[in-house]
Homo-oligomer: A and B are copies of this chain.
């Protein structure tokens, strides 16, 4: 009877094992090529049990996206200590982000690539996570602006744009770091800080990059509105 007992696990534990296996297979093979047979085998359960618990390949994939999106957002939030200066908070947040994506490359492939590459309803799941991270970064930039007493100088729209740029840069860099042998999470975070903070830092110090004169030949932008700087 002991042998039977060790095989019996609570449903919640079994489900997590199935999700572990599914994230690995979806991340490495891609959503289309991933087979439920392979996922069941890797999880050490029967395929009917996977369907009984998770219903369908689509629902299993959605459950993977939800779990991994939650884990990533929690890792970033847990990495930040709100009592520090804004640049240190950003460094810690980026460190936590790149450490998490480096430790969970299959989960990152699911979120960054697979979930966006197979239409709805998967793309919406990732969009929700992304909006949460953009809101978090927006608060960090606003805190930095307050610290630098630049609060009124930076219009809300500029802050929103900077947050979008920062998140896009970090997403792109995480995909590159995971695909490039030998790039550590710390190196990726340091590159990102060099790019983002030394940049945001100049901005907070009231030293934006100055665009050339409107009349100058060779400027290729279509609109003639004033630069936000």
Q: Please count how many residues in chain A sit with their CB below 8 Å of the partner chain's CB atoms.
A: 81
B191 pairs with A198, CB closer than 8 A: no
Q: Is A145 an interface residue (CB 8 A)?
A: no
Q: Which of A18-26, A45-53, A56-64, A160-168 contacts B (4 or more CB under 8 A)?
A: A160-168
Per a CB cutoff under 8 Å, which of B182, B197, B211 touches A193? B211
Decide if B220 touches A95 in the complex (CB within 8 Å).
Answer: yes
Q: Is A212 an interface residue (CB 8 A)?
A: yes
CA gap between A223 and B101 in the complex, in Å: 13
Within 8 A of B (CB), among A175-229: 175-177, 180, 182-203, 207-209, 211-212, 218-229
Q: Does A84 contact B (CB under 8 A)?
A: yes
Taking the complex as formed, is A87 at the interface, i.e. its CB lies under 8 A from any CB of chain B? yes
A185 contacts B81, CB within 8 Å?
Answer: no
Cβ of A73 < 8 Å from any Cβ of B? Answer: no
Partner among B79, B160, B175, B201 whose Cβ is within 8 Å of the Cβ of A176: B160
Q: Copy number in this complex?
A: 2
* Residue A71 CB within 8 A of the other chain: no
Closest B-chain residue to A223, C-beta based?
B184
User: Quick one: given A172-B171, A198-B207, A218-B81, are A191 and B123 in contact (CB under 8 Å)?
Assistant: no
**Shortest Cβ gap from A164 to chain B (Å):** 4
Is A118 an interface residue, CB under 8 A from the partner?
A: yes
Chain B nearest CB, measured from A182 CB (Å): 8
Q: Contact check: which of B30, B91, B211 meets A212 at CB < 8 Å?
A: B91
In the complex, 7 of the A-B residue pairs with CB atoms within 8 angstroms, ordered by the A residue number, are A91-B209, A92-B219, A116-B117, A165-B195, A166-B195, A187-B223, A199-B201
3 smallest CB-CB distances across A and B, nearest first, come from: A199-B199, A168-B172, A198-B202
